[in-house]
Amino acid sequence: MLSGKEKARIAVLVSGGGTNLQAILDAQKSGVLTSGEVTVVISNRTGAYALERAKAAGVPAETVTRKANGGTQEGFEAALLATLDKYQPDLIVLAGFLSILSEDFIRRYEDRIVNVHPSLIPSFCGKGFYGLKVHEAALERGVKVTGATVHLVNEIPDGGRILLQKAVDILPDDTAETLQKRVMEQAEWILLPRAAELLSAEIIKKRSETV
């Protein structure tokens, strides 16, 4: 078993309730995630319930908002980077983080930021496709299968290299809300911890090769 010092340090960025965060925390307990450890949770919204989930798990919880940092993207990202620097993460997981990060920010953590998107990319993705909007678009289009995708983050929204995907059937009586719930339960909460383990294991391997 890896000690805390040997594990990849994971920062999870959140905006809301934190169900994907909870899936990652649960994966640590169950042994799905053994190569990495959540060392900080950062919210861009004051009072996000995800912060309570972090505290309940004994994980440091921080809040960095755009409003408190001059109301600009530059001020927000500078404060976010300063907070991340305190924890020195090896991997950043976007778990329902509703803020687009700049190319400069992403370059700082190239190939070390991962996101989960509630569709089978390249369908229903990119700018403007988030939350219920994704599921509404899938239902409007009449597709029979949707799902979730975990991908690395680059300068193009939802455009980074795909790591994992899982399909979920659309049922005849689905609403955007019922579909969202099922995609989370059957795909997002399974894929994101799995991807975190996959990337954490790669980080540990590269670390050992450079020693």
Is residue 117 among the annotated active site residues? yes
Gap between the Cα atoms of 69 and 164, Å rounded: 35
Quote the DSSP letter at residue 171.
P
CA 154 vs. chain centroid, Å, equals 13
Catalytic residue among 7, 117, 135, 151: 117
Gap between the Cα atoms of 65 and 49, Å rounded: 15
Taking a C-beta distance cutoff of 8 angstroms, is the pair 24, 199 a contact?
A: no
Name the phi and psi angles at 146, rounded to 5. Answer: -130, -150
Strands 61-63 and 36-43: parallel
Residue in 68, 24, 25 with CA at minimum distance from that of residue 46:
68
Which residues are part of the catalytic machinery? 117
